[in-house]
Structure 1
Amino acid sequence: MDYTISYNPATGKEIAKYQRNTKEEVIEAIKKSKAASKLWSQTPVKQRIKAIKNVQRYLIDNYKEVAKAICDDNGKLLIDSFVAEVFPAIMATSFYTKYAKKWLKPKNLKGNSILTFNKKAYMVYSPYGVIGIISPWNYPFSIPFSEVVMAILAGNGVILKVATETIHVGNILNKAFEAAKLPDGLFSYVNSSGPDTLDAFIEGSIDKIFFTGSVETGLKIQQAAAKKLIPTVLELGGNDAAIVLKDCDIDKATWGIIWGGYTNSGQSCGGAQRILVDKSIYDQFCEKIKEKVTNLRPPKVPYNETIGDADIGFITSKTQKETVIKQIVESIEKGAILYGISYLPEDLEKQILTEDERKDYIIKVRSSKSEALKFLNKLLQVNNNFLPAMVLTDIKEDMPIFNDEIFGPVIGITYFEDIEQAINMANDSKLGLTSSVWTSNIKEGKKIASKIEVGVVMINDHLMSHGLAHTPWGGVKLSGIGRTHGEDGFYEMLSKKVIISDSLTFAKKQLWWHPYSKIIWDGMVGAMKFLYHKSLKEKFDGLKKLFKLLNRFFEKN
């Protein structure tokens, strides 16, 4: 029997062990969900809302237990687990249960031509059937939670597969949805490998796939889904830019960018990574960042009880830690400077530094390229998933810090000469998820925001829009397709159908039906001239011909 073991990134200790599902079991879960969703789609919206509100009540009653589970399994601080995952989930539930009934109502589609005055059109919305959700490890609770809530409210069944790295959180999420008392089989949480899950989704003809994760995996899912034309929503990576103007509040901008870059240990696809600063304030900005980053506090034991006395948590996995270090090393080898760094937890200091080195290692690491690389190599070798917050300066386009997504606590800073250069630098990426503009001139900030090629731009903040349930979330370029969150995200859970009826029930024929005649030609040309020609004479002439055509409504043969 195959199992997935969940480990605490902070301690390395086993949290729990969960039995794996086979591909065949996932396919069977899809079949059951399809059957259950047919009945659920006919369930009154009021009843669906009640079910989801039960889930919300569970979270309110058990918020600390859920936050601790996220902290234990993912490595983020307890405060991050609550503020960025549990609380947004509770808020999102209120938002979606408030508007679901309104959004599910048919919508009238208004035309603007008197030629088709008798055609009444409206849009109706139907659930897809079964939604497959493959969610990531960086926000293992809040990302899938909102998607499941929207899918259930829309009348769908759901098959949820969470990341293997945070399988314990998946079980906690499953426990929360048990409070909804949904029909048997409607919602299934599966513990299976990524390839097995995808194969099962395709073979089981799931109705739509939502995926959050890497660009590489997203492209594989898109290619696999295309074989059966299964629609997808993909939220992929980002290496997001923050543009800092000379008129900004520097103290505010540095704190905001520090939060956007280092919350969740920098493991945020929408986090601040490439910091583009006006040249006139570049030195001042870098000094402020260095000073504040140096004072960011590492976690203390016991890690899942730390509230308010730490600022940086742990990297979720050893593999991810190694990847981040290698990206930073490559950037430094290509000329970037390790300009700022925060302190290590005391136990990690003792593991990799001598007593003498511990006295001044922050200064020493920043003193030269060789010292920086030596320090990073020590972090790479040690069996500990903590990485300090790091600041790189002198970053260039050929470095990972500029070109790639770095899923760790590091930001890179460079300067620009003018706004156009800043916009071009921000757009010089194959990714386009989020961005931010820091300025005291909101009007100018909005103007710049309109030129940045991303899905979300924030002014004087970064990243937190993911916690706003009413704002759509998603990117452009290789950052994905489709949207989650908000009204747009809700409609991603629904298929659309247009229904058109004829208000002239007494009419025997439509104006354009067979048999064709010159009267149809003349009447249609006349309609065009009456509606759109500038000349009054042509309009009047066209109207006369249109009147002749209207007799077609009453023709029996």
Structure 2
Amino acid sequence: MSNTIKTVNPATGQTIREFETISDEHLQQKIEQTHQAFLDWKQRSLEERGKLVRRVGELLVKHKDRLSSLMTQEMGKPISQAPPEIDLCKSICDYSADNAASVLAEEARDLPGGRALVTHQPIGIIFGIQPWNFPFYQVVRYTIANLMAGNAVLLKHAPNVWGCAEALEEIFREAGMPDNVFTVLYIRDEQASQVTEHKLVRGVTFTGSAATGRKVAAAAAEQLKKTVLELGSNDAYLVLEDADIDKAVETCVTGRITNNGQTCVAAKRFVVVDAVYEQFRDAFVEKMKQVAFGDPTDENTQLGPLARKDLRDELHKQVKESVEKGAVCLTGGEVPDVDGFFYPSTVLDNVTPGMPAYDGELFGPVASLIRARDEEDALRIANDSVYGLGGGIFSEDEERAVRLARDHFDTGMVCVNGYYIAQPNLPFGGVKESGYGREHGGYGMLEFVNTKSLMIGQQ
């Protein structure tokens, strides 16, 4: 078995560098060192933790150009889209530091014959298994919340972005974080179970596919350890009869191609009522045709390569199977004869149940157009999914759209007349096969703490 992992530039297919994986013995040492760091870290004041977390955010911005270039090199993110990811990380650091005291505050409650306190205490090491598509944000999202809560963090990052993982560890060190409070594990997939099983590891958080999420959750459950899962989705964006079609088209194209279409909360299925279907379809296809793939290091490039060859091949397989089952490809849909792992912006029409484009998650710049009879049918189609992460509604009647989103959309997040991704002050997470648990908005700080009751008798 090879002890090296290669990172590959998806725009060229060329190897960037090789990383050595650590031995099982070294892994055990890392876990024990992280636990020792936790024993000290949990006793640090929120003010001290917050000061260091803010410093992490400041250094991320200081190194923004280098980190942006690294993301583009390792996973193909268009260079113009990389700095906003770093800015989001900075906002998460600031929000967490600013709000931890109120989120984690002790609460006095009544107790007959005495008084009671509810307190939130850190529990230990939290193990994060994270994907490559937002290589800094995904890590910062769970790490900062847990550090503010007083936990220590282990990271198993996706191997194709280990350069980003290394850069993060360097920034935490430069910020003055105590050694081993945040530790990157350069381990093979099969070594991850050793981390989950270790008695000093108290929780596991995973972002990725539903199939892998099941395995991660099952392994943690075997040890009676809590998990937070943020899994896949095939978010439906509903275009109702009274929608501003120009706005809907512009927003939906952005929502489909951002990050090369490799976003869990990307707009993926476009459910359009019959009355405006042709109008939306024609304008949407024309706009998607204008999105050309190209060199991700060029500031003008909107669409870069997919992160790996196997991901590009799987996406094309899903497109072909959907077409074989009756979908109509209106643009794109062919693997280009160029170096790298590029895939063109693609629109599939006549998408129906039983097709990958309807039932599954197409993780790339492929849009599924689905015709609905009316508003009620559109909501039925939107909820006709095993997933439930995000979604959207376009309607000029904002009050009605909000009511539909709140009362009838079976997802964790809904956009109304816009496309938004993560916000530091709003809970992030899904339902059904999109996972469980919430991050951001303070909720992530409460996922892995011991909410403890103190019952104090009168003296």
> Which TM bucket (shorter chain)?
over 0.9
Question: Which structure's CA Rg is the greater one?
Answer: 1
Q: Distance in 2 between matches of 1:246 and 1:10?
A: 41
Partner of 1:429: 385
Partner of 1:224: 219
Q: Once the two structures are superposed, what CA deviation does each residue of 1:54-73 show, in whole Å capped at 9, x if it has no partner?
A: 21121121111111101110
* Secondary structure in structure 1 of the residue aligned to 2:96: helix
Alignment partner of 1:408 is 2:364: yes
Higher relative contact order (CA 8 A, sep 6+): 2
Alignment partner of 1:470 is 2:421: no
- Flag the structure with higher helix content: 1
Determine if contact 1:30/1:204 at 8 Å carries over to the other structure.
Answer: no
How big is the shift at 1:118?
Answer: 4.2
Out of 227, 236, 255, the position equivalent to 2:250 is 255
Q: Distance in 2 between matches of 1:388 and 1:109?
A: 59
* Secondary structure in structure 1 of the residue aligned to 2:25: helix
Out of 228, 240, 255, the position equivalent to 1:233 is 228
How big is the shift at 1:166?
Answer: 1.5
Q: Which structure 2 residue ranges, 5 or more long, are not aligned?
A: none
Partner of 2:320: 329
Matched AA of 2:427: P
How big is the shift at 1:27?
Answer: 2.3
Q: Distance in 2 between matches of 1:70 and 1:316?
A: 10
How big is the shift at 1:382?
Answer: 6.1
* Secondary structure in structure 2 of the residue aligned to 1:158: strand
Percent identity between matched residues is: 29
Q: Once the two structures are superposed, what CA deviation does each residue of 1:470-513 show, in whole Å capped at 9, x if it has no partner?
A: 1111111111111111211121132210122345x4xxxxxxxx
How big is the shift at 1:183?
Answer: 2.1
Alignment partner of 1:461 is 2:421: no
Partner of 1:296: 291
Alignment partner of 1:82 is 2:83: yes
Partner of 1:176: 171
CA 1:24–1:481 in structure 2 vs 1: closer, same or farther (change >3 Å)? farther
Cα RMSD (Å): 1.6
Partner of 1:102: 102
CA 1:418–1:121 in structure 2 vs 1: closer, same or farther (change >3 Å)? farther
Determine if contact 2:4/2:20 at 8 Å carries over to the other structure.
Answer: yes
Alignment partner of 1:120 is 2:115: yes
Alignment partner of 1:314 is 2:305: yes
Q: Distance in 1 between matches of 2:276 and 2:241?
A: 6
Determine if contact 1:31/1:204 at 8 Å carries over to the other structure.
Answer: no
Matched AA of 2:41: W
How big is the shift at 1:264?
Answer: 1.0
Determine if contact 1:243/1:276 at 8 Å carries over to the other structure.
Answer: yes
Q: Distance in 1 between matches of 2:384 and 2:274?
A: 19
Partner of 1:18: 19
Alignment partner of 1:498 is 2:458: no
CA 1:26–1:495 in structure 2 vs 1: closer, same or farther (change >3 Å)? same
Partner of 2:341: 385
Q: Distance in 1 between matches of 2:448 and 2:421?
A: 21
* Secondary structure in structure 2 of the residue aligned to 1:437: strand
Determine if contact 1:23/1:200 at 8 Å carries over to the other structure.
Answer: no
Determine if contact 1:160/1:190 at 8 Å carries over to the other structure.
Answer: yes
Q: How does 1:538-549 map to 2 (within 5 A)?
A: none
Alignment partner of 1:483 is 2:452: no
* Secondary structure in structure 2 of the residue aligned to 1:56: helix
Q: Distance in 2 between matches of 1:180 and 1:103?
A: 24
Q: Once the two structures are superposed, what CA deviation does each residue of 1:130-156 show, in whole Å capped at 9, x if it has no partner?
A: 110110011111011121111111111
Partner of 2:39: 38
How big is the shift at 1:400?
Answer: 0.3
Determine if contact 1:69/1:172 at 8 Å carries over to the other structure.
Answer: no
Determine if contact 1:27/1:201 at 8 Å carries over to the other structure.
Answer: no
Structure 1, 159-168 or 23-32: larger mean CA deviation: 23-32
How big is the shift at 1:120?
Answer: 3.0
Matched AA of 2:229: L
* Secondary structure in structure 2 of the residue aligned to 1:34: helix
Q: Distance in 1 between matches of 2:238 and 2:26?
A: 49
Structure 1, 181-190 or 206-215: larger mean CA deviation: 181-190
Determine if contact 1:465/1:471 at 8 Å carries over to the other structure.
Answer: no
Q: Distance in 2 between matches of 1:443 and 1:109?
A: 38
Alignment partner of 1:439 is 2:440: no
How big is the shift at 1:294?
Answer: 1.1
Matched AA of 1:299: G
Q: Distance in 1 between matches of 2:190 and 2:340?
A: 29
Matched AA of 1:71: T
CA 1:383–1:11 in structure 2 vs 1: closer, same or farther (change >3 Å)? closer
Matched AA of 2:70: A
Alignment partner of 1:420 is 2:376: yes
**TM-score with structure 1 length normalisation?**
0.79
Partner of 1:352: none
Alignment partner of 1:52 is 2:53: yes
Q: Distance in 2 between matches of 1:453 and 1:119?
A: 43
Determine if contact 1:70/1:140 at 8 Å carries over to the other structure.
Answer: yes
* Secondary structure in structure 1 of the residue aligned to 2:216: helix
How big is the shift at 1:99?
Answer: 0.7
Matched AA of 2:120: Y
Partner of 1:452: 409
Determine if contact 1:435/1:456 at 8 Å carries over to the other structure.
Answer: yes
**TM-score with structure 2 length normalisation?**
0.96
Partner of 2:267: 272
Matched AA of 2:242: D
Determine if contact 1:121/1:499 at 8 Å carries over to the other structure.
Answer: yes
Determine if contact 1:338/1:393 at 8 Å carries over to the other structure.
Answer: yes
Determine if contact 2:213/2:229 at 8 Å carries over to the other structure.
Answer: yes
